[in-house]
């Protein structure tokens, strides 16, 4: 056994989307890069709904499609389903620009995709060290110069460390970039099942013309049992992914078990027929950092940068996070290259990481939506009253039962105002608008 | 310096496996391949004795190219050399053919660099036959100790080992002359958490591949499906037994119960034949 110091130009912590991207960019420029991953293999610990955005993938690999990425179906129909107790209103968009090349988003399964994404980084020259947990940092003169791991003789040195540790921001805290754990009010717990069905069945039940068509649906209303949160449905090629995400805080308060929440969703009269006869392939849960802008740590310090979930880079309303992680990973990789060119790894040099992100949608969107998580927490009516009203209103509008129409409109009106006063409704709409526009 | 050899197998993680209810066969798709757990303990035991006595560990396995990963895992645990026996001609080998393939490869290694002690896991978790280790020992005419739980002593000077082995009733202590072959229980050694330099070495390690012609020339009638006398005619899942009828003594009375049960028994042909 050698006692030589283990040294790389760049160490990336975590082989998720941010980590493997950062490593690929740095390795492509000839730097000696190690990715340290705690799972048995890259992707082993990663989980999402979900869909990936092609713009971010192509930004890293312009020849993406020649590389045959393991993506599932393209998203050709997307939007909202509003659930009441026993009914559903669908508001989705399909065809038009959603259906045109280039396709904006593809459904993916992370265990498969992330291990492929990491292989691309390996091809660029990055070296993956799996089954190893980074536990702390090594400092010299106040500057980070390496990491310690949970293995014997486990120190690894590099003048720049890119932390993509995910939602549990333990290392980010150790560096003093943020002073607290992720807060229960600022994190959603998402639980999901992947249920296998034949492509034919999926197409027939969801009205999809072929295997080249897929859905990404946000489900609002009866799914979250009044808690701030959303359900979702995504179509993989031969499986459907269904889940619910609600804030951790709400789960604590209500004492509702996440698996009960999911089970209830899957048994909903509008959902159950979709998955009937399917086989459970995967059952999992993951935390999503939804604090956004307000929970962002400082993004860099001397010798280290943070990207992805650890840096709170998630846009909860638009279900964006993977694209932010990839763009941030790229920016961190570029900054590492710049630092090596200068031979200077100080906080001042690494600040160009943040400067770069300011120019991109990452920081712009996060800043714009900075009030969103607070808004959703304070407005449970968007989860309960409005979806039910929508179902009532549409249900009334499209049935006759021999009533005069004036009475019909009165009933629709009453089904709203009996639940929430008109003044409050107006207030809700205004604050929703503010949270979205970000003023 | 001691030369230890461990024979391993890459297996599907059967804790993760399901049976296709229609065909009755294993659904292997998406099931991770792992180093057979008993083999991992065998490698750990070899690594312990390498540390004590100094020397080297050779790992051998037969399997598809992806079995390289299992060999790398052995390097991580402290092995020095990994040999993969991989050839389409080996495919479909049963335990008989597999033990022939392994035995000939081991004979070759032994000629070039004499082996002192050979380790096998007690069985592989996918087939559970526990036949390959004994098969190899028989072919090579090495002493065989199955279900080894502890290595008390390896004495190279006098050429013997002292091994504890588990039987149903007791622990036996066996003295065998070297080279000997053990099949190991998990108790043989704890699997250590490898040091980082060993992990990195294993990730960079490139295994040797041996084929059906090079460096050992195999008799093609003895390998693969052709060389395998085992024929699997059918696999299936046993049907669950229906619970039997219940008679409540409290409801129908003791005599009635006994009579009914007795009636049922003698109307059942197999019991009736005993009665006569």
Question: What pLDDT does residue A424 have?
Answer: 80
**Structure confidence at residue B249 as a pLDDT band (50, 70, 90):** confident
Long-range contacts of A273-280 (CB under 8 A, 24+ apart): A273/A205, A274/A205, A274/A206, A274/A233, A274/A240, A274/A242, A275/A195, A275/A197, A275/A240, A275/A242, A277/A197, A277/A201, A278/A195, A278/A196, A278/A197, A278/A201, A278/A239, A278/A240, A279/A195, A279/A196, A280/A193, A280/A194, A280/A195, A280/A196
Residues A44, A20, A145: CA angle, nearest 5 degrees: 110
A155 at the B interface (CB within 8 A)? yes
Which of B55, B202, B35 has its CA nearest to residue B117? Answer: B55
Are the C-beta atoms of A134 and A12 separated by less than 8 Å? no
Q: Which helix (H) or strand (E) holds A115?
A: helix A110-124
Q: Which residue of A lies nearest to B79 if distances are taken between CA atoms?
A: A1
**Do the Cβ atoms of B196 and A128 come within 8 Å?**
no
pLDDT > 70? residue B270 = no
Domain ranges for chain A = 6-71+108-180+292-359, 184-289, 373-437
The answer to whether domain A184-289 has CATH 3.40.630.10 is no
C-alpha to C-alpha distance for A63 and A41, rounded to whole angstroms: 25
Determine contact: B80 vs chain A, CB below 8 A: no
SS3 content of chain B, % helix, strand, coil (to 5): 35, 25, 40
pLDDT by residue (tens digit) across B8-25? Answer: 999 988 877 776 666 666
Q: Which of A1, A151, A281 sits opposite B193 (nearest CB)?
A: A151
Cβ neighbours of B20 in A, within 8 Å: none
- Residue A157 touches chain B, beta carbons under 8 Å: no
pLDDT for res A34: 98
**Among candidates A6, A40, A155 on the partner chain, residue whose Cβ is nearest the Cβ of B200:** A6
Distance CA A244, CA A228 (A): 11
- Residues of chain A in contact with residue B193, where contact means CB-CB under 8 angstroms, are 150-152
Interface residue B27 vs chain A (CB under 8 A): no
Q: Nearest Cα to A289, choosing from A432, A176, A187, A170?
A: A187
Is any Cβ of chain B less than 8 angstroms from the Cβ of A131? yes
Secondary element (H or E) of residue A26: helix A17-28
Gyration radius of chain A's alpha carbons: 23
Tokens 């200068």 -> residue: A342
Q: Report chain A residues whose CB lies below 8 A from the CB of B195.
A: 1, 151-154
Q: What is the CATH number of domain B2-222?
A: 3.40.50.620
Mutation site for B-interface testing, chosen from A119, A131, A157, A239 by largest number of B Cβ within 10 Å: A131
Rounded mean pLDDT of chain B? 91
* Best A33, A132, A237 residue to mutate vs chain B (most B CBs within 10 Å): A132
Tokens matching residue A93: 């968009």
pLDDT digits over B57-83, tens only?
999 999 999 999 999 999 999 999 999
> Does any CB of chain B come closer than 8 Å to the CB of residue A198?
no
Q: Quick one: which of A291, A327, A286, A295 has its CA closest to A308? A: A327
Tokens 């160490």 correspond to: A11
What residues in A contact B199, CB-CB < 8 Å?
Answer: 129, 131-132, 151
Rounded to the nearest 5 degrees, what angle is found at the Cα of A304, between the Cα atoms of A298 and A305?
A: 50
How far apart CA A305 and CA A160 sit, in angstroms, is 8
Domain ranges within chain B, ordered by starting residue:
2-222, 241-276
- Whether residue A149 contacts residue A36, with contact meaning beta carbons closer than 8 Å, is answered with yes
> Which residue from B51, B162, B63, B62 is spatially nearest to B103, judged by alpha carbons?
B62
CB-nearest to A152 from B30, B32, B195 is B195
pLDDT confidence of residue B188: 97
Alpha-carbon distance of B209 to B229, in angstroms, equals 26
Residues in chain B within 8 Å Cβ distance of A154? 195-196
Q: Residue B275: is its pLDDT beyond 70?
A: no
Pairwise CA distance, residues A259 & A270, whole Å = 19
To the nearest whole Å, the CA of B53 is away from the closest chain A CA by 16
Cα separation, B59 vs B71, in Å, equals 7
- At A127 the pLDDT is 98
CATH number listed for the domain at residues A6-71+108-180+292-359: 3.50.50.60
Per residue of chain A (439 residues), give pLDDT as tens. 456 899 999 999 999 999 999 999 999 999 999 999 999 889 878 888 889 999 999 999 999 999 999 999 999 999 999 988 888 889 899 877 777 777 889 999 998 999 999 999 999 999 999 999 999 999 999 899 999 999 999 999 999 999 999 999 999 999 999 999 888 888 889 999 999 999 999 999 999 999 999 999 999 888 888 888 889 999 999 999 999 998 899 899 999 999 999 999 999 999 999 999 999 988 999 999 988 888 999 999 999 999 999 999 988 777 788 999 999 999 999 999 999 999 999 999 999 999 999 988 888 888 887 777 677 777 777 777 777 777 777 777 777 677 777 887 888 888 788 888 877 888 787 777 777 776 6
Residue A115 sits at the chain B interface (C-beta within 8 Å):
no
């Amino acid at each position: 056994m050698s006692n030589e110091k283990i040294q790389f130009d760049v160490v990336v912590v975590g082989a998720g989307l941010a980590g493997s991207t950062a490593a690929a960019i740095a390795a492509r420029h000839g730097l000696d890069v190690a990715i340290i991953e705690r799972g048995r293999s890259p992707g082993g610990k990663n989980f999402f709904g979900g869909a990936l955005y092609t713009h971010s993938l192509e930004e890293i690999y312009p020849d993406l499609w020649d590389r045959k990425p393991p993506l599932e179906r393209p998203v050709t129909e997307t939007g909202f389903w509003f659930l009441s107790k026993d009914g559903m209103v669908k508001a989705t968009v399909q065809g038009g620009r959603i259906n045109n090349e280039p396709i904006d988003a593809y459904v993916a399964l992370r265990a498969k995709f992330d291990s492929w994404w990491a292989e691309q980084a390996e091809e660029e020259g990055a070296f993956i060290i799996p089954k190893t947990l980074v536990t702390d940092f090594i400092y010299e003169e106040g500057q980070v110069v390496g990491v310690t791991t949970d293995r014997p003789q486990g120190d690894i040195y590099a003048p720049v460390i890119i932390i993509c540790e995910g939602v549990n921001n333990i290392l980010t805290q150790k560096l003093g970039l943020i002073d607290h754990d992720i807060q229960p009010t600022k994190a959603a717990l998402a639980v999901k099942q992947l249920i296998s069905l034949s492509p034919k069945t999926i197409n027939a039940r969801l009205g999809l013309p072929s295997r080249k068509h897929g859905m990404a649906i946000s489900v609002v209303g009866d799914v979250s049992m009044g808690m701030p949160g959303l359900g979702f449905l995504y179509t993989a090629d031969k499986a459907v992914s269904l889940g619910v995400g609600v804030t951790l805080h709400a789960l604590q308060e209500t004492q509702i078990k996440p698996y009960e929440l999911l089970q209830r969703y899957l048994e909903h009269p509008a959902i159950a027929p979709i998955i009937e006869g399917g086989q459970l392939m995967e059952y999992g849960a993951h935390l999503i950092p939804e604090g956004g802008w307000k929970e962002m740590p400082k993004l860099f310090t001397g010798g280290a940068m943070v990207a992805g979930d650890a840096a709170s880079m998630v846009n909860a309303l638009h279900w964006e996070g993977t694209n932010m992680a990839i763009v941030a990973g790229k920016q961190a990789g570029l900054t590492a290259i710049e630092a090596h060119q200068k031979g200077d790894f100080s906080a001042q040099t690494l600040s160009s990481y943040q400067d770069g992100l300011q120019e991109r949608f990452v920081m712009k969107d996060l800043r714009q939506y900075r009030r969103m998580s607070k808004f959703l927490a304070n407005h449970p009516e968007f989860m309960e009253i409005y979806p039910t009203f929508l179902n009532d209103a549409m249900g009334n509008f499209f049935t006759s039962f021999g009533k005069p129409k004036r009475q019909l409109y009165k009933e629709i009106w009453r089904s709203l105002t009996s639940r929430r006063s008109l003044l409050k409704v107006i207030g809700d709409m205004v604050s929703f608008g503010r949270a979205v526009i970000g003023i | 310096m001691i030369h230890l050899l461990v024979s391993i197998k890459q297996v599907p993680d059967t804790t993760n496996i399901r049976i296709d209810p229609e065909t009755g066969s294993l659904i292997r798709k998406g099931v991770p391949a792992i180093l057979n757990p008993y083999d991992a303990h065998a490698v750990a035991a070899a690594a312990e004795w390498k540390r004590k006595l100094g020397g080297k560990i050779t790992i051998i396995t037969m399997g598809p190219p992806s079995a390289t990963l299992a060999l790398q895992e052995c390097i991580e645990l402290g092995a020095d050399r990994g040999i993969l026996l991989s050839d389409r001609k080996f495919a479909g080998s049963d335990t008989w053919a597999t033990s022939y393939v392994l035995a000939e490869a081991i004979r070759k290694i032994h000629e070039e660099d004499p082996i002192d002690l050979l380790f096998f896991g007690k069985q592989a978790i996918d087939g559970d036959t526990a036949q390959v280790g004994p098969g190899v020992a028989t072919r090579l005419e090495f002493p065989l100790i199955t279900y080894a739980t502890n290595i008390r002593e390896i004495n190279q000077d006098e050429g013997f080992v002292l091994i504890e082995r588990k039987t149903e009733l007791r622990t036996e202590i066996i003295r065998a002359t070297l080279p000997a072959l053990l099949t190991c229980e998990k108790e043989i050694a704890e699997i250590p958490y490898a040091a980082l330099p060993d992990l990195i070495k294993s990730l960079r390690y490139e295994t040797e591949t041996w084929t059906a012609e090079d460096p050992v020339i195999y008799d093609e009638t003895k390998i693969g499906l052709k060389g395998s006398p085992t024929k699997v005619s059918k696999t299936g899942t046993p049907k669950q037994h229906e619970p039997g009828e219940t008679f409540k003594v409290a409801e129908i009375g003791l005599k009635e119960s006994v009579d009914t049960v007795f009636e049922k028994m003698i109307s059942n042909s197999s019991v009736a034949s005993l009665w006569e």
